[in-house]
């Protein structure tokens, strides 16, 4: 951008900067408040209203939520589903994307259309539920993964990426007697690591944030991932329904405890965020290209 040193230009830049700073601050303040609140005592939180940096530090809330194994189990489910789900999704997506990226493949247009069409029209919640049920997936961890194993959007991004790899590389590998699987795993995938990383992260975040599929397909609360448990603890307890969900003998969770659960459920994403941000921004732009 060209520097504008006129008075109007400077004023414009100053106002613009200030506004953006305020917007950015408003965006992160709720997080800071929640994190700060989770590390103090409930008495302190109630007394000093607008905590951003707690005066009294305390791990009370964390001790409480980790006193039963409910949170551990839910975190375990979420970690497991995220790891296995990302692997499964990535594997299926990469195979399909590579097959469809090859221009000499007969029928690829039909399959491409079939994929794109699912983005415009879908059977909806109930028919999908009935399919999942017929397959016997209800109340299995697999129901959190298999029914949403491939994202059409991610598949198309990856396919476009593969299409941009020079065909000559594949041709010469073929002449050397390399099979299609060999080309994919030895040549195409190693060249596509940025795209693979981006899409793996897309999938991982989606799996970590799984909520809807869990409430649709899991009746057994012992199998709940962390998002469902978080909702039980925070949302239901903030409404009218004050029945405790951690344990019937425990009073409704107070603010610090809710905040601690939010932090625990958010932490994995915040930890990988710097990494995420770099790749995700790229990925979103990959997706904006047409192909």
Residues 47-106 that bind other proteins (CB under 8 A): 49-51, 92-93, 95-96, 98-100, 102, 104-106
Closest CB 94 distance from other proteins, rounded Å: 9
Q: Does 127 bind other proteins (CB under 8 A)?
A: yes
Q: How many angstroms separate the CA atoms of 64 and 74, rounded?
A: 15
Q: Is the Cβ of residue 72 or residue 181 nearer to other proteins in the bound state?
A: 181
Neighbours of 58 (CB within 10 A): 17
Size of the site for other proteins (CB under 8 A): 104
| Binding positions for other proteins, 130-189, rule CB under 8 A | 130-132, 135, 146-150, 152, 155, 179-181, 184
Nearest alpha-carbon partner for 156 in 214, 204, 195: 195
Q: Which is nearer to other proteins, 192 or 255 (CB)?
A: 255
Instruction: Provide, rounded to whole angstroms, the least separation between the CB of residue 180 and other proteins.
Output: 4
Cα first-last separation, the chain = 30
The 257-276 contact track toward other proteins, x by CB under 8 A, reads -xx-xx--xx--xx--xx-x
Q: What part of residues 186-205 is at the interface with other proteins (CB under 8 A)?
A: 205
Give the contacts of 98 (CB within 8 A, at least 6 positions apart).
Answer: 159, 162, 184, 188
CB of 87 to other proteins, least distance (A): 14
Enumerate residues 233-262 that contact other proteins by CB under 8 A. 234-235, 238-240, 254-255, 258-259, 261-262
Q: Single out the residue of 83, 114, 169, 250 in contact with other proteins (rule: CB under 8 A).
A: 114
Which one of residues 59, 125, 169, 250 is an interface residue with other proteins (CB under 8 A)? 125
Tokens of 220: 């057994």
3-state SS, one letter per residue, for 187-209: HHHHHCHHHHHHHHHHHHHHHHC
Contact 207, 86 (CB under 8 A): yes
- Hunting for tokens 């409910």 — which residue is that? 70
Q: How far is CA 264 from CA 39, 70, 267, in A?
A: 12, 13, 5
């Amino acid at each position: 951008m060209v520097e504008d040193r006129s008075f109007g230009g400077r004023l414009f830049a100053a106002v613009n900067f200030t506004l953006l700073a305020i917007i950015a601050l408003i965006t992160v303040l709720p997080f800071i408040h929640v994190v700060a609140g989770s590390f103090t005592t409930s008495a302190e939180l109630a007394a000093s209203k607008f905590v951003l940096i707690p005066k009294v530090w305390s791990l009370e809330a964390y001790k409480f939520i980790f006193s039963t194994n409910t949170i551990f189990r839910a975190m375990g489910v979420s970690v497991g589903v995220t790891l296995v789900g990302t692997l499964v999704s990535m594997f299926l997506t990469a195979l399909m994307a590579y097959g469809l990226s090859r221009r000499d493949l007969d029928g690829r247009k039909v399959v491409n259309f079939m994929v794109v069409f699912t983005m415009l029209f879908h059977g909806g919640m109930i028919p999908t539920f009935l399919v999942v049920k017929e397959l016997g997936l209800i109340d299995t961890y697999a129901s959190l993964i298999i029914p949403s194993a491939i994202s059409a959007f991610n598949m198309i991004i990856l396919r476009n990426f593969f299409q941009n790899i020079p065909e000559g590389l594949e041709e010469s590998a073929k002449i050397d007697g390399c099979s299609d699987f060999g080309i994919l795993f030895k040549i195409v995938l190693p060249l596509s690591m940025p795209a693979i990383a981006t899409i793996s992260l897309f999938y991982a975040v989606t799996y970590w944030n799984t909520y809807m599929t869990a409430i649709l397909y899991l009746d057994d609360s012992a199998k709940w991932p962390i998002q469902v448990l978080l909702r039980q603890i925070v949302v239901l307890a903030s409404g009218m329904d004050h029945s405790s969900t951690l344990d019937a003998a425990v009073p409704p969770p107070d603010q610090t405890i809710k905040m601690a659960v939010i932090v625990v459920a958010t932490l994995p994403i915040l930890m990988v965020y710097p990494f995420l941000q770099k790749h995700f921004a790229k990925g979103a732009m990959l997706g904006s290209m047409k192909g």
